[in-house]
Structures are given as structure tokens and as C-alpha cells.
Amino acid sequence: MTGNKKPNRLINEKSPYLLQHAYNPVDWFPWGEEAFEKARGENKPIFLSIGYSTCHWCHVMEHESFENDSIAATMNTLFVCIKVDREERPDVDKVYMSAVQAMTGSGGWPLSVFLTTDLKPFYGGTYFPPRDAHGRSGFPTVLERIHQVWEDDREKIVESGNQLIALLRQERGASESGAEIDGSILKKTYDQIAAQYDAKYGGFGGGTKFPRPVVLNFLLRYHARTHTAEPLTMALATLRSMALGGMYDHLGGGFHRYSVDAQWRVPHFEKMLYDQAQLTHSYLDAYQITHDEFYARIARETLDYILRDMTDPGGGFYSAEDADSPDPEIPSHSSEGAFYLWTKAEIERILDSDSAKIFCHHYSVDDHGNALSDPLGEFKNKNILFSPFTIEQTARIFSMDETKVESILAAARKKLFEMREARPRPLRDDKIITAWNGLMIGAFARASRIFSEPRYTEAATRAAHFVETALYDPATSTLKRRFRDTEAKFEAQLDDYAFFIQGLLDVYEATFDPRSLQLAIKLHGTQISFFWDASEGGFYDFLGRDLSILLRTKETYDGAEPAGNSVAAMNLIRISQMTDDSILKKKLETIIRLIGAQVQQAPHAMPLMMAAIDSFLSTPKQIVIAGKRDSADTRKFLEEIARRYLPNKILLLADGDSNQEFLASRLPFLASMTPLENKATAYICENYACNLPTNDVNRFITMLENSQR
């Protein structure tokens, strides 16, 4: 409710996060010259607040401090206040997150930073409470103390800011080249990951657990390389635990952000697009390796959630859904998880008696609530659905056939989902981010091949078309980062280019439409011209044109989102093999040399880059199918490829049409590849040297299996 409050400058922004703060009594500015000029003109320090629309503690600090008239008055009097959406401006976020981590040893959102008039940070933290308590200063006290020091000892503050930025620039600019890379680094990566593995509950570490799909990606690749069971066991156990736990939405599909406990039972309830995309890839990988329908079901349900709730009418994918939502019983009060929680009495009212008993047992629903590891006691008497039992175990308890139990549970989930749909929904951040759309496009494209599902093909191609028409300028071959409410804005950054290029390559392997590959190659050229570091190698995260960004970073850590450099390295491998481009191969070698020293110390921090090194150290393998794109015999070959986990293969189609013509312009050996006896024919090649072709699917299967040994 805004009442009679006047909006501040954020009312003119498109970001849902900034618009959430548009009626705060704080005189917020968006990041830009107007705010900087005011700070310089009035000689005031800047208070910079960075967050995102689905951030729970951002909501808390807003309610406690930014909506408080007294605190807002202090902020407006003593500071120039700037609000930034980290998802729109990751360049701003990275600079000041690095600074706060250097100052305090930790970081997070909301990020709260105090800057000099020339934008240099001198003090910062994350969430500040509204009052002094438990030996910790409240936000008003912090504001007053910062103001006092600014007035009394400004030269020291300015010097401190200068020194911190100089230190960060020195660290970012340090060369880390020189170390040779061989297969031993993959073993070291595996050993470091394995040392953190939780054999009891799956996942890594013993407390709060994040999914971090890049680790699972590496483990599955390492299994394929070594043919050892342990990395596969770790990955599969983690995927199964996540999907059975409270982190997975058992009624609507999709994953919550992370688990606050080691057992994956109590989630932080926000849903992020980048998690859905990466985890879909992980479950698809697991399905290809095991052919266990459990992993296929989780992938399908996650994709169907995106199609149902997170897809724009134009085809693009929305960014996130909030953890908080109005309480169905007290609509004026919002709380975390309200949309997803159930009392046992609710379930018993909705389902018939027998179904309720089976459902409540299987999903551990209790009269007093089941969130035993709920650290703040927020979910009293409420239940988070998680499944500690197999279907077989539940069937045994009720002396029933497993198929019957499965049918009862599926019907119960459907009925509860329909009832849940009537509840007030969490806020949906409907901005469309190029990078995250690239990840999701790739997930739909791969799923379309593996499941032979036209809906997923359509979703991938529509989203790619949306990005191409709404966020891409063909005149300059450049991308924008964000689209919302008819507006494309902000220069795209490395991850926007790299993630979207990756998605286009996946679309090509799903459709063999050469336009996807052509656009990927064109954007890759732009990425190199904009972000490549010609002196040391590797890609910068940002363009470097905006002088308000004090550091030009080169991220290598693969966290919740993979590092742009890691995805760029994977793309270099794929495009160089699709085009036999020696220049791209040399750039890949430069990246690997650049990160050599850092990798030797902590390779587990960059598991996707290690996956790229796995590909780099492997013999390049191309699978070429000569045949018409939509013919039945071609599809048989493609289906056999899609059934298998082949992480280091490149798939090409010699269709006798525009696709083959384009490929042959880069790979001349493809020009002569034709079907044998007018039947679709498969060629398996290593370093472009091909084995004898076959138009016999069974023979092809044997060749594929031999190539995996």
C-alpha cells in the first residue's frame, strides 16, 4: 500500500526491485550521474544499497529501515542514497561486493556500502538491523557514526577508499599464468570436491547447502573420463536428495534457492531461473547415464514449471519468484514460504481419508509441522513437503501395490496443486535477462532432443527468437542485458554473450537450423572484440566503457551461476571444433594458461572451467549424420545419440541443404559426406579423421559404445 506517499525517482525505472522501493520515504536515486553530481555538489558521502526483487533480507531491511520515516530522514539529510538491482547491474555489484568482502571477510544481499564522492568504498556490510541489540550497532547508529567520521576525519576516509580500490585493482591485475595443465589437475579437483561430500545426506558441506550444479557437471564428466563409480555416486545421491527434499516443489515442479539445513528439508523458498536451467541440465545428464525415469521426471516437471509460470507471452523467460508471499490466512501479512506450506488439517480437508493418510506419511506431514531444522521457528505447525520414503517403503507400510500408491500420490499432488493455485502467489520478477535466458534455452533444447518433445523445441526456439528480436541489434551485432515492459536496456556483459551463445549452440544441435549456429558465431566475434584481454588473455566481465565502474574484473569462480570465462571456454571448444578455427583454439589455450596458477591452488572453485579442461585434454570427437533433417532414418540415429551421455562430442548434420553448405564452408571434409544407399548414414570422427561410415543403426550403436571406452 502506498497511501498518499509521493514516489521517489525510482518510479521511473523498470526494475521490479527498484519499483518495490519507489514509495519509500528515502530519496533514492538510481545509479547514474545525477546522483554522483549531487554527492559532489553537496559534498556528501553516498549510501549504496544493492539487492534484488526476490531477496528475503532485502525485504526485511526495506520494511524495518527504508520505510521508517525517521531513519529515512536521517539518510536523506546526511547521504545521497542510491539503489541498484544487482541483476541489472552485476558490474556495479561485483565492484562493491569485492570491496565489502575485503573489508569484512563476507558478503551478501542486501549489500550496504558507503562511498566517497568519487565512488570509492570506505565502509560496508550487508543487512543492518533497525536498532542496536546484542552488541551490534543498528542502522541509525551506523548512519550517525559514518556521518561523524565524514565530518571529522574526511581525509582519512578518502585515503582509505583510495587504498582499498588500489588493493583490489592490484589483486585483479595480478598475472596468474605459467603453470602447465595436465590430467592431474582433474584428479586434484575431484579430490577437493570429494573431501567436502556429505555421504549421509548428499551434497557438499555440513550446514546450509546450495545446489551448485557446476560441481555435479564436473563429477559426471569425471566419471565418464575415469569410469570410476565414486563421482557418479556422489552426483546421483545429491540429485536424488535434492529432488526428494523440501528444496524441490513436489506439487508445482522446480527448485527453491537452497536448503538451510544439511538434510535438504527446509529451503529458502525463492526460485531462480538460473537454478532451474542448470539443474535441468544435471537431471538430463543423470538420466542419460542411468536411464532412470526418476531423473527424467524431475527434469520434465522443472521445465513444465517454467512453461507454466515463468514464460512471457513473447517467449522469453522471467527471472525469479519470491520466497515471500501473503499468508493465505492473514493476507495483509507476508512471510517466507507461505505459498508452499501446509497444515495437516488443510490436507485432510482437501483429500479423502485414505489418500490423506498415504500422502501425509509419504511427505512426512505432521500435526505440529515438520520443519524441525527451521532455524528461526517461522514455520510452526506448518509442513514443508519432502519425501523421506521410497514408493516401495510407503506401499509396504500400507500393504498396497506400488503402482496403486503412485497413482494415489499423483492424484493427491494434482488436487493440492489446484488448491494451491488459488492462494496469493509470490511476487514474480518478470524482467528478462539475456544471460539467464541463454541457460534456459540450452536446457529446453537439450531436453527436446533427449525426450523427443516438440513442446520443448518450440520453447527453446521461441525464447531464442525473443532474445534475437528484443535484445539484439543486428546492425552492430550487440546485445542488451535486460528487457522489461517494452524496454531493452543496459549493455550486455560477458555472461550475457557467453550464456546466450551456449544456448544457441544447443538449439543448433536440437534443430540443425544453421541460423542458430551463424548467430552464435557472429555474437562470439562480438564477444571477443568487446571482452578479450589482448595482453594477458581471458575475458573481462564488462565492457569497460562506463567510467563509474572502478574495477574491470575477470571472474573465474563458478558459483550459483557459472563464471563467464568458464562458459566462454566451453563455447570456444565447441565453435572451434565446428569451424576448425585455429585462432579460437589458441585463445582457449591462452585462457587455460592464464588460470594455471590459480587452478593449482583451488581447482574445486572453478569446476566448470575444469570441465572445459577435461574437453581440452580429450581427443576432439565429431559425430556427423548424413541424411535429411526430418526423415525417420535420420531420427533413429539422432535418438541413439540423445540416449547417451557424450559430454565431449560435437554433433553435425550433413543434410544436403543449407546446413551442410554452411558447415562445409568451414569444414571442407563435410562437403563429400552423403547418405549410403539413400539411407541416413553416421560418421564418427576424431580430429576430423572419420571411421568408415555406416547406415546400420545397430552397427552405429556398437561404434558409439566403443568410442566411450
Amino acid (one-letter) located at 228 = T
Radius of gyration of the chain from Cα atoms? 26
pLDDT interval class at 461 (50, 70, 90): very high
pLDDT interval class at 377 (50, 70, 90): low
Q: Which three cell numbers mark 607?
A: 569446476
> Which phi and psi angles does 320 have, rounded to 5°?
-170, 160
For every residue of 387-399, DSSP letters joined together read --S-HHHHHHHTT
Taking residues 396-411, what's their average pLDDT?
A: 96
- SS3 category, 410: helix
Amino acid (one-letter) located at 12 = N
Neighbours of 518 (CB within 10 A): 13
CA 237 to chain centre: 21
Amino acid (one-letter) located at 343 = T
What pairing do the DSSP bridges indicate for beta strands 258-259 and 689-690? unpaired
Q: Which three cell numbers mark 379?
A: 514455520
pLDDT at 174 over 60: no
Q: 474 near 462, Cβ under 8 Å? A: no
Q: Which of 230, 231, 228, 193 is nearest to 212 (CA)?
A: 193
Taking residues 101-108, what's their average pLDDT?
A: 93
pLDDT interval class at 3 (50, 70, 90): very low
* pLDDT value at residue 371: 73
pLDDT interval class at 330 (50, 70, 90): confident
pLDDT at 621 over 60: yes
Q: What is the pLDDT of residues 502-527, one digit of tens each?
A: 999 999 999 999 999 999 999 999 99
pLDDT interval class at 333 (50, 70, 90): confident
Q: Among residues of the chain, what percentage have pLDDT more than 90?
A: 87
Q: Which three cell numbers mark 390?
A: 521410497
* pLDDT value at residue 292: 97
Spatial distance between the Cα atoms of 121 and 48, rounded to a whole number of angstroms = 9
- Report the DSSP beta bridge partners of residue 489: 482
Spatial distance between the Cα atoms of 434 and 431, rounded to a whole number of angstroms = 10
pLDDT at 182 over 90: no
| Dihedral of alpha carbons 177, 181, 186, 187, sign | negative
* pLDDT value at residue 121: 97
* pLDDT value at residue 541: 97
Q: Enumerate domains of the chain plus CATH numbers.
A: 9-173 (3.40.30.10), 224-308+318-429 (no CATH), 619-709 (3.40.30.10)
* pLDDT value at residue 173: 58
Average pLDDT of the residues of the chain: 94
Spatial distance between the Cα atoms of 481 and 177, rounded to a whole number of angstroms = 31
pLDDT at 620 over 90: no
Q: What is the pLDDT of residues 186-211, one digit of tens each?
A: 999 999 999 999 999 999 998 899 99
pLDDT interval class at 597 (50, 70, 90): low
Q: Which three cell numbers mark 557?
A: 569462480
pLDDT at 614 over 90: yes
Spatial distance between the Cα atoms of 386 and 250, rounded to a whole number of angstroms = 8
Amino acid (one-letter) located at 341 = L
> Which phi and psi angles does 694 have, rounded to 5°?
-145, 145
Rounded to the nearest 5 degrees, what angle is found at the Cα of 426, between the Cα atoms of 425 and 429?
Answer: 120
Instruction: Give the predicted TM-score (pTM) of the model.
Output: 0.96
Taking residues 666-677, what's their average pLDDT?
A: 93
Taking residues 549-561, what's their average pLDDT?
A: 93
What pairing do the DSSP bridges indicate for beta strands 681-686 and 689-690? antiparallel
Which position has the higher pLDDT, 620 or 562? 562
pLDDT interval class at 179 (50, 70, 90): low
pLDDT at 373 over 70: no
- SS3 category, 516: helix
- Report the DSSP beta bridge partners of residue 271: 321
**Is residue 33 packed enough to be buried (19+ CB in 10 Å), middle (13-18) or exposed (0-12)?**
exposed
Q: Which of 679, 641, 705 is nearest to 512 (CA)?
A: 641
* pLDDT value at residue 2: 44
